[in-house]
Amino acid sequence: HVQLVESGGGSVQTGGSLTLSCTVSGYTSSRYCMGWFRQAPGKEREAVAGIDSDGMITYADSVKGRFTLTKDNAKNTLDLQMNSLTPEDTAMYYCAAVCYSDYDAMDEHDYSYSYWGQGTQVTVS
């Protein structure tokens, strides 16, 4: 039974930092894509950052230079270091694991990934 557990969300002031962490359990392979996605109230879910099975990382333009994605294959974790946060970053953040194709690593649709976490709230004021 595969589980994704997210942690690290919270409230922070503009300009502050947070690190989100996603831990995957129950999945035997270490070579799989993962991503962080977010959904703000009244908006569609959007990709934040993704890493494909070869380790190539892609960032949304809105977070380039501010967010850093790190995958630890030994620990099955995916961390998202978020710096210089703004109110526009306020959203529920979701971790996803095992996309059906590396081309889907930044695809926000439910069908692109096999597993999704429950989400962790990030609020920037």
pLDDT value of residue 123: 98
pLDDT tens for residues 105-115? Answer: 999 998 899 99
Residue 103 pLDDT exceeds 90? no
CB count, 10 Å around CB of 45? 15
Those residues with Cβ within 8 angstroms of residue 5's Cβ, 6 or more apart along the chain or in another chain: 22, 23, 25, 117
Q: Are 102 and 54 in contact (CB under 8 A)?
A: yes
30 band by pLDDT with thresholds 50, 70 and 90? confident
